[in-house]
Amino acid sequence: MKILYAALKYDYGDPRRGLSFEHYNFFDSLLNMGHDLIYFDFASVARDRGREFMNRRLLELVTVEKPDIMFSVLFRDEFDPAVIQRISRDSQTTTVNWFCDDHWRFDDFSSRWAPKFNWVVTTAASALPRYSQLGFKHVIKSQWACNHFLYRKLDLPDRYDATFVGMPHGDRPHIVQLVRDAGIDLRVWGKGWSEGRLSQEEMIRVFGQSRVNLNLSNSSNKPGLKARTCGLLQRTIVQLPMSHSVRGALLRGIARLECGTPTATATGYAEQIKGRNFEIPGCGGFTLTGLAEDLSDYYKPGRDVACFSTPDELVRRLRHYLAHEDERRAIAESGYQRTLRAHTYVHRFVEIFNTMGFASQPASDLIATGPRRGAVFEVG
């Protein structure tokens, strides 16, 4: 198909941060599935030419190119709602938007934008009745996945005992320190940590070379002023040069303030599934993850991934799997095979487009034939 792809090319729209999640996962998957893509990086166009020009350009592309689908991933309010509604109502192009944060952003964002599109995609089961209350029926429940064209098993030797890749949101700094205080060698990377970010290629290597990959997805909440202040203190502490013992004491002190985010003394975690839940197994890595919402619908705990529900259990399971290599490797292999069978973005997009009325080959056939890159027309 010809697809007008409207999403951020750069992380949070900032070229200094490198390419975005959307680029590495949505764009790259659609391209390697053989679709012809008109790449419309709306944030860059709005920044360089202004919001009004960007919206005119979007409408012009639909009018001239007549794409089958406009696939978008909204960031903020860059688009003119009237323009999106006009494309959805008056053109031959079918519009669909992937909403990333319906767990917490539904009321003040998704609920306003969804009626402007022909279809929407959500990863939050909890959002389905809320869309129904709006009277919006063209909702597709999907989920994050692994772009297997990019995330792949490299069969490299183990290099790290335990690793975590992600920013120091919420209680992550305290959990990291708790693991280190338990004597476990945990390496961390990401914007906000003193170790800094990894490139995409480096991250894939880390996933494959770690005995245990931690997934700490407990971060997407909207804390109050006290929690935001504590979070700022935590992020500052993890970046400053200081001894291990001093950093640990400071982070433990902040956790005792009960800042409003989930802490290491909480009874458990209320997490949402993230892309990392699929990317790590897709690289053949062993995953130890919090019990996210509906995770068992995608991976069987204890067979495909390992799970924890409290910080103490996290430490116990880390020690267990570091000491039981055969069990750890069997789970990692099972998770890898499960990802390729059911949880790639090829599977997601085939299901989404079929639901929208665009017939496609089965995902298994597309995966078996390997990448077949379509054409890209990048516009400004």
Amino acid occupying residue 241: P
CATH number of the domain within which 209 lies = 3.40.50.2000
Split at pLDDT 50, 70, 90, the class of 259 is very low
Amino acid occupying residue 198: L
Decide if 151 is inside a domain: no
If asked whether residues 130 and 169 sit together in one domain, one would say: no
If asked whether residues 268 and 375 sit together in one domain, one would say: no
pLDDT at residue 221, rounded to an integer? 43
Question: Is residue 283 over pLDDT 80?
Answer: yes
Please, what is the average pLDDT of the chain?
Answer: 89
Split at pLDDT 50, 70, 90, the class of 9 is very high
pTM to 2 decimal places = 0.86
If asked whether residues 37 and 126 sit together in one domain, one would say: yes
Decide if 154 is inside a domain: no
How far apart are alpha carbons 259 and 373 in whole angstroms? 48
Closest CA to 12 of 54, 75, 73: 75
Give how many domains the chain has, as a whole number: 2
pLDDT at residue 249, rounded to an integer? 58
CATH number of the domain within which 61 lies = 3.40.50
If asked whether residues 177 and 136 sit together in one domain, one would say: no
The residue range of the domain holding 296 is 160-340
User: What pLDDT, in 10s, does the model give residues 169-206?
Assistant: 888 999 999 999 999 999 999 999 999 999 999 999 99
User: What pLDDT, in 10s, does the model give residues 105-117?
Assistant: 999 999 999 999 9
pLDDT at residue 353, rounded to an integer? 98
If asked whether residues 114 and 184 sit together in one domain, one would say: no
Decide if 366 is inside a domain: yes
Give 30's contacts (C-beta < 8 A, 6+ positions apart).
3, 5, 37, 71, 345, 349, 374
Decide if 164 is inside a domain: yes
User: How do 160-165 and 119-122 pair as beta strands?
Assistant: unpaired
If asked whether residues 82 and 170 sit together in one domain, one would say: no
Decide if 266 is inside a domain: yes
If asked whether residues 138 and 285 sit together in one domain, one would say: no
